[in-house]
Amino acid sequence: MKLKIGLAVIALGLLISGCNKQASFGKLDKTPYATKECRKSLSVGAEIDHSNKIDKIVVYKKKRTLYTYRNGKKIDTFRFSLGKNGNKGNKVKAGDYRTPEGSYVIVRKKCDDRLYRSLMISYPNAADKARARANGVKPGGYITIHGQPKWNADGRGDNYTLAHDWTEGCMAVPNSDMDTLWKAVRNGVKIEIHS
């Protein structure tokens, strides 16, 4: 009886903790956060769908809308969340929870086990650094377009996350939209971020 109760407590603990990494049971991580498989695909460029590549991303922060383009033609439209201070203008310094405005490029793709996948932008650029220096602050960095936190891996919480600004300055899209972007974006894609 004690053994059954002990096993039940362990099973409940694993369920509550969201444990989904490879467990002692030998099961592979089947969630969208399986970073080992993601990194393998990324290392050989296998994640890009060459027939659906885009060459530009345009973001409008107030509308919480991101558009993708190929050869000047709009391809897709995505909704997103911003940083906690997303409506308070351009990013000024590290830790202000604002999203930068300006012209950048995608510089890196990252497989992430915390916030799904991410596309890193080239913030801070020279103008951002000069503005921060003039204000005596650090510009911050590591601004991305990323997916959802683990608790929303299946997308059931998308309406909630899209109705709130909760990032530290990044743009957070649903994981299904991140999959579309992931396949269409390569390093060097231009991104314009407007107020």
Instruction: Determine, yes or no, domain membership for 38.
Output: no
Residue 170 lies in a domain: yes
Mean pLDDT within 168-173: 96
What range defines the domain where residue 9 resides? 2-30
Q: How many domains does the chain have?
A: 2
The CA distance from 195 to 193, in Å, is 7
Are 100 and 15 within one domain? Answer: no
Domain shared by 20 and 71, yes or no: no
**One domain for residues 99 and 155:** yes
Cα–Cα distance measured from residue 181 to residue 187, given in angstroms and rounded to the nearest whole number: 12
Percent of the chain with pLDDT over 90: 68
Q: Mean of the pLDDT values across residues 48-72?
A: 95
Instruction: For residues 103 and 25, state if they share a domain.
Output: no
Contact 71, 62 (CB under 8 A): no
CA–CA dist 68, 74 (Å, integer)? 6
Residue of 112 and 73 predicted with greater confidence: 73
Name the pLDDT band for 166 (thresholds 50, 70, 90): very high
d(CA 116, CA 165) in angstroms, rounded, equals: 17
Q: Is there a single domain that holds both residue 85 and residue 171? A: yes
Does 16 share its domain with 49?
no
Amino acid at 74: K
Nearest to 48 by CA among 183, 177, 179: 183
Annotate 67-129 with DSSP letters as a single string: EEEETTEEEEEEE-B-BTTTTS-S--STTS-----EEEEEEEEEE-SSSSEEEEE--S-HHHH
Please indicate, yes or no, if residue 36 is contained in any of the structural domains: no
